[in-house]
Amino acid sequence: MDELLFRREGAVATLTLNRPERLNAISQGMLEALSRHLVECNRDPSVRVVVLTGAGKGFCAGLDLKDVATGQGIGSGGLGAERFDLRDAPPLVLHNLDKPTICALNGAAAGYGMDLALGCDIRIAAESAKLAPAFAKRGVLPESGGTWLLPRLVGWSRACEIAFTGRTLSAAECVSLGLVSRMVPDELLAKEVQVLAAEIAANAPLAVQATKRMMRLGQDETFEANVHHVFLQLLPLFRSRDFKEGVAAFIERRAPHFEGR
């Protein structure tokens, strides 16, 4: 059985972690497939939005500790361990993705799974979803982006409380903390995410991707530097077909049809 499922519906690509019998605990093969598909989606101009979710009742239970305990799987090698080269690891690939990413948080996300969810641009949670930052309870730290992402999402004090206690957060708590955009009934999660993805995909893809790049860079630059970078991104957009189509659609009072050119 494939440990990662890939599905395309129009301009939306959905990646599904597929080890439901292990609550989608991360395996080496799953990580490699995830990185590969993310890179392919980023290169494919027909893909405008990427959705990440899990099969079954959980989103991702984190690293497969059963494999780790037996000296197999992650931790026994791979993932750039020999050269400490993590350029192709999912957290970095996900972070550098130009395409918008939505996490359909269908259940519990623990450890690595929580970091993976936080690495997406938008998170929509089912009512049964939970975030479990259990790193300190396992003798490790958030190794897959959590130490960078969490303080930026909730602030220093709240990030410290979440990480140091390892306390599980319900979907409602995640909404109040701003860790997810909204919470929906379990049975409506897939539909809500697809509606959101379709709404994003209907916009000019070059503009959406440029906006994401500038927002990402803006987290580590001065305001002045970001304004200058944004202007340099704006110049080629003015020459794009999509800009002309957007203006024409506005004047003609119709829905635009963007080509990504």
Indicate if the pLDDT at residue 201 is higher than 80. yes
Tens of pLDDT along 29-57? 899 999 999 999 999 999 999 999 999 99
Report the SS3 class of residue 226. helix
pLDDT higher than 60, residue 111: yes
Cα 230 from chain centre: 23
Model pTM score: 0.90
Rounded mean pLDDT, 166-174: 96
Cα–Cα distance measured from residue 81 to residue 101, given in angstroms and rounded to the nearest whole number = 27
Which pLDDT value is given to residue 66? 66
102 bridge partner residues: 51, 122
The SS3 call for residue 59 is: coil
Task: Please indicate whether residue 72 or residue 176 has the higher confidence score (pLDDT).
Answer: 176
- 245-256: pLDDT as tens digits: 999 999 999 999
Q: Which pLDDT tens digit goes with each residue over 210-220?
A: 999 999 999 99
Q: How confident is the model at residue 127 (pLDDT cuts 50, 70, 90)?
A: very high
Instruction: Tell me: pLDDT of 75 over 70.
Output: no
**Residue 56: what pLDDT?**
94
Where residue 5 falls (left for φ over 0; alpha for ψ -120 to 50; beta otherwise) is beta
205's tokens: 């893809």
Mean pLDDT of the chain: 91
**Strands 12-17, 4-9: pairing kind:** antiparallel
The percentage of the chain sitting over the pLDDT mark of 70, rounded to a whole number, equals 92
pLDDT at residue 85 tops 90: no
Angle subtended at Cα 29 by Cα 91 and Cα 191, rounded to the nearest 5 degrees: 65
Query: How far is it, in rounded angstroms, from Cα 166 to Cα 136?
Result: 6
Higher pLDDT, 190 or 89: 190
The stretch 176-196 carries a mean pLDDT of 97
Domains of the chain by range and CATH?
A: 4-201 (3.90.226.10), 205-252 (1.10.12)
- Residue 230 is given by DSSP the state H
Token pair of 137, please? 């309870």
